[in-house]
Amino acid sequence: MGCVNEKPVEARVLVVDDEPNILELLSVSLRFQGFEVATASTGAEGLDTARTFRPDAVILDVMMPGMDGFGLLKRLRADGVDAPVLFLTAKDAVEDKISGLTLGADDYVTKPFSLEEVVTRLRVILRRAGKVSVEEQSARIKFADIELDDDTREVWKAGDLVSLSPTEFTLLRYFMVNAGTVLSKPRILDHVWNYDFGGEVGVVESYVSYLRRKVDTGETPLIHTLRGVGYVMREPRR
């Protein structure tokens, strides 16, 4: 059920969702990002798993048959599991969001979601709860003269604040955490846009263009196009 990556485990995460494709999507993505992951497809199974796995954070779907996410959160707290909780809710389900936060959830993501949004919000609630190592405490990511803050969702270019849309922010963050790695357009589409977006890779080209005009305005470019392959963020080779 759990899987330890070769690199040091960032945190232990329990994912509970009754949709197999979402469980698979999240578990693969989180393991790739360095998390140890356990999964469960029902509230009852999630409760049993939490008792043995002792997660540092929990990702819970609200709508599940039998014990739903709200019921599971109550049982987890009654069992003394104080791990921060990230709820997955139906789009625009304001009542679900309010109910979850009232019960003690730390944040929520609406379905359909992008993988980068889930990972970013997960790391934020882990930092707030003090569940990460000292090296992981900083909410800021830096590359060259670009700085990004996960908590405030702010971006600076050469010290100047830059206004980005939510999608531009997520795309920039994906480039920055994967600096030096060549990213294909389909891979970017899968991670930055919603998992059921179903759009064409042309949207990636458009948003890379928007991003370049806002944060890649120096004499030497940082976001490079590899024709027929994709993009890579890197400083110029000397």
pLDDT digits (tens, 9 = 90+) for 122-135: 988 998 888 765 45
Domain containing residue 97: CATH number = 3.40.50.2300
105 within a domain of the structure (yes/no)? yes
Please give the residue range of the domain that contains residue 208: 139-233
Final residue belonging to a domain, choices 107, 134, 161: 134
Residue 61: its H or E element: strand 57-61
Does 108 share its domain with 165? no
Does 48 share its domain with 75? yes
Does 161 share its domain with 126? no
Does 38 share its domain with 57? yes
Does 48 share its domain with 158? no
CB of 179 closer than 8 Å to CB of 236:
no
Does 168 share its domain with 81? no
Q: Which residues contact 99 (CB under 8 A, 6 or more apart)?
A: 70
Instruction: Quick: pLDDT tens for 192-224.
Output: 886 666 667 788 999 999 999 999 988 889 999
- pLDDT for the residue numbered 93: 62
Residues of the chain below pLDDT 70: 1-8, 91-104, 132-138, 194-199, 237-238
Does 176 share its domain with 227? yes
Does 87 share its domain with 174? no
- pLDDT for the residue numbered 196: 62
Does 152 share its domain with 218? yes
Q: Please give the Cα distance from 56 to 50 (Å, whole number).
A: 10
Does 128 share its domain with 153? no
Domain containing residue 198: CATH number = 1.10.10.10
- pLDDT for the residue numbered 197: 62
Final residue belonging to a domain, choices 134, 162, 183: 134
- pLDDT for the residue numbered 192: 86
- pLDDT for the residue numbered 134: 43
Residue 95: its H or E element: helix 94-103
Number of domains in the chain: 2
Q: Which residues contact 68 (CB under 8 A, 6 or more apart)?
A: 43, 62
Apex 123 CA angle, 127 and 159, nearest 5: 85
Q: How is 167-232 classified by DSSP, letter by letter?
A: HHHHHHHHHHHTTTS-EEHHHHHHHHS-TT----THHHHHHHHHHHHHH--SSS-SEEEETTTEEE
